[in-house]
Amino acid sequence: MKEITILGSTGSIGVNTLDVISRHQDKFNVKALTANTSLDVFVTQCLQYKPEYAVMADEESASKLEEKLKKKSPDTSVLAGIDGLVKVAELNTVDYVMAAIVGAAGLLPTLAAAKAGKRVLLANKEALVMSGKLFMNTIAESDAELIPIDSEHNAIFQCIANTSNQGSNTIRSIMLTASGGPFLNTPINELPLKTPEQACKHPKWKMGRKISVDSATMMNKGLEVIEASWLFNIEPDLIDIVIHPQSIIHSLVEHKDGSVLAQLGNPDMRIPISFGLAWPERIETDVQRLDLFDIAQFDFRKPENDRFPCLKLARKAIKQGGTSSAILNAANEVAVNEFLNKKIMFTDIPKVIESVMNDVTHNNADSLDTILGDDSLARKRAIETIRNMGA
């Protein structure tokens, strides 16, 4: 039996993880669940899974949870804040940690899981984008297992998993597929007027609001290039982005013998999640089976630079190195949030990020303090930039 902590259990990845676990209760047990403020969903999850620990990042929500669980689930200990998140990520009795908090808020608990030598199931790409080298070093030093849950990276992992040294020395290039998001075919002059609701209406995946906007700007793919270069120890120039609107091929790896391997499946996160939980075995899921005759056709195209300026910004950040990616990520988080709050236009997102990247000097990313310091400077600068735009 593997004991599991799910960081961010009320989110899209968290709910899918619980769905997979529910069908394999002989193999996996929920030790700890965490959430931020979504009290009602969290109470239901706690009553269903009876975790030993339930953590809410938001202190006020945690007190309300304690009140609600007192009678119905007295064996669940309620914790609050970042200390609670870190504690359940590094518990001695936990084997696997699903890192599914969105954004920089997930960095400390995810790093704690890595340091404690857990199997880290990494959905929270922002944590790796921010702390790249530090994170990978922590995994190596503590002998933790790192399995990517992001569908593209999970696909790549599957394509190299049976090669020595996890394949990184046999890779010639990576083709990272992208759906192109909801605005792939929108006339570019209409992009400024796109609303949060339209941006969050992803054609293929049902996801949280932040990553949905990132998919619409394609910053998601930019973050994924950074993520892939760290995970698979590969130069970013060897990672190409291929728009594949059907979202059936989840990425491809070109090996040096000329073989190109791909992983295919219907777009359903329960595939990578179950793979990460079961690895090196495979377990059943209820995912709809792939019917190639039904799909009939695969299309591929290059992303247009003027439609997706965030791609260039992400490539620039990784080239600059150091804390540049943390600065990019922080500016993006602020800009996306302000777009979701209808304070800026969709097309302002890359403008804010570019301005922050020009204004905040990047540093060596060897220490957590420096990374968090530059993250916080970039957030302040992003807010100022938005204020100066007249928002």
Interface ranges with Mg ion (CB under 5 A): 150-152
Please identify which residue in 10, 76, 158, 274 interacts with ligand NAD, judged by CB under 6 A.
10
CB of 11 to ligand NAD, least distance (A): 2
Residues 228/325, Cβ–Cβ less than 8 Å: no
For residues 5 and 348, give the distance between their C-alpha atoms in angstroms, rounded to a whole number: 37
Other C-beta atoms lying within 10 Å of the C-beta of residue 4 = 27
Contact call for residue 38 and ligand NAD (CB under 6 A) = yes
Give the β-pairing of 145-148 and 239-243. Answer: unpaired
- List, edge to edge, every strand of the sheet that includes 96-99: 77-80, 53-56, 28-35, 2-7, 96-99, 119-122, 145-148
Spell out where the chain has E strands.
2-7, 28-35, 53-56, 77-80, 96-99, 119-122, 145-148, 171-178, 239-243, 249-255, 260-264
**Which position's Cβ is nearest Mg ion?**
150
**Which position's Cβ is nearest ligand NAD?**
11
Q: Which is nearer to ligand NAD, 336 or 360 (CB)?
A: 336
Residues 198/190, Cβ–Cβ less than 8 Å: no
Per CB under 6 A, the segment of 23-31, 119-127, 246-254, 318-326 that binds ligand NAD is 119-127
Contact call for residue 8 and ligand NAD (CB under 6 A) = yes
Contact call for residue 269 and ligand NAD (CB under 6 A) = yes
What is the size of the binding site for ligand NAD (CB under 6 A)? 26
Residues 113/87, Cβ–Cβ less than 8 Å: no
- Whether the bond between 280 and the residue before it is cis, its omega within 30 degrees of 0, is yes
Give the β-pairing of 28-35 and 2-7. Answer: parallel
CB of 347 to ligand NAD, least distance (A): 22
Question: Of these partners, ligand NAD, Mg ion, none, which one is at the site of residue 84 (CB under 5 to 8 Å by kind)?
Answer: none
Per CB under 6 A, the segment of 200-208, 294-302, 343-351, 356-364 that binds ligand NAD is 200-208
Q: Which is nearer to Mg ion, 247 or 385 (CB)?
A: 247
Instruction: Find how far residue 218's CA is from the centre of its chain.
Output: 14
Please identify which residue in 35, 249, 318, 336 interacts with ligand NAD, judged by CB under 6 A.
35
Question: Of these partners, ligand NAD, Mg ion, none, which one is at the site of residue 311 (CB under 5 to 8 Å by kind)?
Answer: none
For residues 342 and 325, give the distance between their C-alpha atoms in angstroms, rounded to a whole number: 25
Please identify which residue in 181, 208, 276, 309 interacts with ligand NAD, judged by CB under 6 A.
208
CA 86, 90, 92, 96 dihedral sign is: positive
For residues 253 and 233, give the distance between their C-alpha atoms in angstroms, rounded to a whole number: 13
Q: Which is nearer to ligand NAD, 198 or 361 (CB)?
A: 198
Q: Which is nearer to ligand NAD, 16 or 355 (CB)?
A: 16
Question: Of these partners, Mg ion, ligand NAD, none, which one is at the site of residue 79 (CB under 5 to 8 Å by kind)?
Answer: none
Question: Of these partners, Mg ion, ligand NAD, none, which one is at the site of residue 355 (CB under 5 to 8 Å by kind)?
Answer: none
How many CA atoms are closer than 13 Å to the CA of 193, on its beta-carbon side?
5
CB of 151 to Mg ion, least distance (A): 5
Exposed (0-12), middle (13-18) or buried (19+): which is 41, by Cβ within 10 Å? Answer: middle
| Distance linking the first and last C-alpha atoms of the chain | 52
For residues 346 and 343, give the distance between their C-alpha atoms in angstroms, rounded to a whole number: 10
Binding mask 84-113 toward ligand NAD (x if CB under 6 A, else -) reads ----------------xxx--x--------
Residue ranges in 39-78 that form contacts with ligand NAD under rule CB under 6 A = 57
Q: Which is nearer to ligand NAD, 150 or 338 (CB)?
A: 150
Closest alpha carbon to 106 in 333, 311, 319, 314: 333
Question: Of these partners, ligand NAD, Mg ion, none, which one is at the site of residue 91 (CB under 5 to 8 Å by kind)?
Answer: none
CB of 201 to Mg ion, least distance (A): 17
Q: Which is nearer to Mg ion, 150 or 338 (CB)?
A: 150
CB of 101 to ligand NAD, least distance (A): 4
Enumerate binding residues for ligand NAD (CB under 6 A).
8-14, 35-36, 38, 57, 100-102, 105, 123-126, 150, 205, 207-208, 210-211, 269
